[in-house]
């Protein structure tokens, strides 16, 4: 079991470019797993964690409803935003500048083979990160992601999640709103959940600009701790 994770900080990347890159890594891991089984080998499979920001983009999960996007093609262009139908789970969400997006491309056979546990671990990484800022972040039953004030009229989502897994290899992941322009969420029904608000770390801390690298460092610390992993860093 290889618990070493290759960390890649990709900076600002178009969604399609980052998605294609994930697919490439995903295929390479899958091919190695298949070869190991076919030839009775034990070559270790790699794991990756990609950290990225995207230009304005809306993405729809494979089981999502496109009517949850409230903009037509011309309106998307006017807002300098793109739209993609993705192969991840979940419904519709927004990515944009000021958001920490994490794409773990892991072979879960290096860790544990339980998708439910994997999603709860991702949530826990974000919950612990937000605790460092004095926020009582929580899970909401039946709604994957991380929330504040669950069970109250003020419930609001601060981190969306959607993943794909095949033969225990994962892709896609989480998007934590840090200094995000939340106005872009007004043009969707986020994650297909009507009447639920979204928020950001910036808003919750009284409009204080939060250093993105600081948030990333905290996420990485807890990701390594929870998954009992260590990193090698790639440029």
**In the beta sheet, which residues pair with residue 94?**
58
Known binding residue 224? Answer is no
Q: Is 191 a catalytic residue?
A: yes
Known binding residue 88? Answer is yes
What per-residue string of b and e applies to 51-66 under the rule 16 or more CB within 10 Å gives b? bbbbebbbbbbeebee
Known binding residue 203? Answer is no
Q: Which of 5, 106, 158, 191 is catalytic?
A: 191
Known binding residue 174? Answer is yes
Residue among 22, 69, 77 nearest 47 (CA): 22
Q: Is 170 helix (H, G, I), strand (E, B) or coil?
A: strand
How many CA atoms does the CB half-sphere of 99 hold within 13 Å?
31
Known binding residue 114? Answer is no
Known binding residue 161? Answer is yes
Known binding residue 89? Answer is yes
Known binding residue 30? Answer is no
Known binding residue 98? Answer is no
Known binding residue 208? Answer is no
Residue among 133, 172, 76, 170 nearest 158 (CA): 133
Known binding residue 175? Answer is yes
β-bridge pairing 57-60 and 92-95: antiparallel
Known binding residue 197? Answer is no
Work out the angle between the directed axes of helices 115-131 and 212-227 (0-180°, nearest 10). 140
Residue among 73, 97, 93, 77 nearest 85 (CA): 93
CA 80 to chain CA mean position, Å: 22
Residue among 144, 132, 101, 98 nearest 10 (CA): 101
Q: Name the binding residues.
A: 88-95, 160-162, 173-175
Q: Which residues does the annotation mark as catalytic?
A: 191
Q: Name the binding residues for substrate.
A: 88-95, 160-162, 173-175
């Amino acid at each position: 079991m290889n618990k070493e994770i290759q960390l890649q900080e990709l900076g600002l990347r178009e969604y399609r470019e980052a998605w294609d890159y994930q697919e490439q890594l995903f295929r390479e891991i899958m091919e190695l797993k298949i070869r190991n089984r076919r030839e009775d080998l034990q070559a270790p499979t790699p794991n990756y964690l990609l950290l990225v920001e995207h230009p304005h983009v809306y993405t729809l999960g494979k089981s999502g409803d496109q009517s949850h996007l409230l903009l037509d093609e011309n309106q998307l262009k006017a807002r300098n935003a793109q739209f993609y139908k993705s192969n991840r789970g979940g419904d519709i969400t927004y990515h944009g500048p000021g958001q920490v997006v994490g794409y773990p491309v892991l072979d879960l056979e290096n860790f544990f083979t339980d998708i439910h546990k994997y999603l709860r671990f991702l949530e826990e990484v974000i919950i612990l990160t937000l605790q460092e800022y004095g926020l009582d972040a929580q899970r909401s039953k039946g709604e994957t992601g991380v929330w504040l004030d669950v069970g109250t009229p003020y419930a609001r989502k601060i981190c969306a999640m959607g993943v794909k897994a095949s033969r225990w290899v994962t892709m896609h992941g989480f998007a934590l709103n840090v200094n995000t322009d939340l106005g872009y969420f007004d043009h969707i029904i986020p994650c297909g959940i009507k009447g639920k608000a979204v928020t950001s770390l910036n808003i919750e801390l009284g409009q204080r600009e939060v250093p993105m690298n600081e948030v990333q460092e905290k996420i990485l610390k807890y990701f390594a701790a929870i998954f009992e992993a260590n990193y090698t860093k790639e440029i």
